[in-house]
Amino acid sequence: MNQRNDGRFLITFNYKCMNIDALAYWSNVADIVMQFPGTEAGTSYGTPAFKVNKKLFARLREDGKTLVVFSNERDKWMQQNPSVFFITDHYKNYPMMLVDLATVKKKDLQSLLLASWQIKAPGRLKKDKKK
């Protein structure tokens, strides 16, 4: 395991996904989600993850360049740009989607992360976000 402390939280990577691109991609995700109330950094399946109220809402896949998010509109996103937004057979029966962090537009990433956070956040935190 390798750890990096960027001053806001501790990022833990296993060596399968440890590379400079993974750090940069994860830093971009962190810059967005740490603005959401109740967001905590952690791990899921041995990769860096973000949780709200102890519930996973985003994690880095083992490849270090793909993000897993929850989405109620994944079909819309996948039709819009299937090279950026996609699923594998594993995610077929779950309300989750994969995002290529190398090619996703920042605006889209922000929208997806907020939507994923809102799916998992309790009502009191959603109210805090609106303020």
Alpha-carbon distance values, 30 to 58, 71, 80, 119 (Å): 10, 18, 25, 18
Where does 2-122 sit in CATH, by number? 3.90.1150.30
Residue 68 confidence (pLDDT) above 70: yes
Question: How is residue 37 written in tokens?
Answer: 């109330």
Q: What is the pLDDT of residue 21?
A: 81
Tens-digit pLDDT profile for residues 108-117: 999 999 999 9
Residue-wise pLDDT for 1-44, tens only, equals: 344 444 344 444 444 545 678 888 999 999 999 999 999 999 99
Q: Which residue would you say has higher pLDDT here, 125 or 14? A: 125
The reported pLDDT for the residue numbered 4 is 44
19 closest CA partner among 63, 66, 68, 84: 63
What is the 3 state secondary structure string of 13-76? ECCCCCCHHHHHHHHHHHHHHCCCCCEEEEEECCEEEEEECCEEEEEECCCCCEEEEECCCHHH
Q: Which residue has the higher pLDDT, 110 or 62?
A: 110
The predicted model scores a pTM of 0.84
CA 112 – CA 125 distance, rounded (Å): 17
